[in-house]
Amino acid sequence: MIDQKPLILITNDDGIFSKGIHSLYEVAKAFGEVVVVAPDSPQSGMGHAITINHPLRLDKSSIFPGTKAYSCTGTPVDCVKLGIYEVLNRKPDLIISGVNHGANTATNVLYSGTMSAAVEGAMEGIPSIGFSLCDFDLDADFSVAMIVAEKLIQKALKDGMPKGVCLNVNVPEIKEEDYKGIRVCKGAHSFWEDRFDKRNDQFGKPYYWLTGDFLDEDIGKDTDLHWIDKGYATIVPIKFDMTAYQVMNELENWNI
């Protein structure tokens, strides 16, 4: 038996040129063979979208020196699928996504391309982690995120991960000396209060920008929003099975 180095697939949703993915790469490369397949342009908010109505391109990239890397015209989930089925010649031991520029706490998991890439990895039976830093700045400071990523990559490669589950890791916007540690918790039941910014174009025809405020309505003390606010990084286990088992009995009594 050949003792192979762990194979780690990295992707993200901010695109292959973002600071976040380069920070994650810097941490991951110490743990094994790293391959990068990431979008060629920002894919924030793409959720679990896949590209089925037009073909995808996959271009070799040299921006990670000495490392096999590709930019892809598709979504983060497309990148995971292409990574597994076209780029790699064996199943990766770990998929890591991010580090996202901006929080993916609470219900934002559903909209997040970063997290959807990790969910896709879990569906493939591969230990997968999505990392997000609660700072949208293009030049954000990823120092704490790199400390957290190092711990979790090491742990996941050593002990694997529960089946059918990936991890949603959020890191507060905080200095290293103020960082408190890691908490396992649930995703807050908090939502966007959406608005549309309606403007008129040069012909007087309206167009709409999605905007709004994120409302922390969940008063629970065991949520990601709660612990992020206290200076902790958070781990929320995320499952791909969305069946609401707890209401099945109620629906069976509908007699339809």
In order of 16, 163, 187, 233, the CA distances from 135 in angstroms are 18, 30, 18, 13
Q: Indicate the residue among 36 and 115 with the shorter CB distance to a copy of itself.
A: 115
Q: Indicate the residue among 78 and 93 with the shorter CB distance to a copy of itself.
A: 78
Contact between residue 188 and residue 225 where contact means Cβ atoms under 8 Å apart: yes
Distance CA 79, CA 73 (A): 9
Q: Nearest distance from residue 203's CB to a copy of itself, in Å? A: 12
How many other C-beta atoms are found inside a 10 Å radius of the C-beta of residue 34? 25
Q: Nearest distance from residue 86's CB to a copy of itself, in Å? A: 5
Q: Indicate the residue among 17 and 111 with the shorter CB distance to a copy of itself.
A: 111
Q: Which two tokens stand for residue 172?
A: 């507060």
Q: Nearest distance from residue 57's CB to a copy of itself, in Å? A: 6
Q: Residue 138 CA to chain centroid, in angstroms?
A: 17
Q: Indicate the residue among 44 and 71 with the shorter CB distance to a copy of itself.
A: 44
How many Cα neighbours within 13 Å face the side chain of 51? 17
Q: Nearest distance from residue 113's CB to a copy of itself, in Å? A: 8
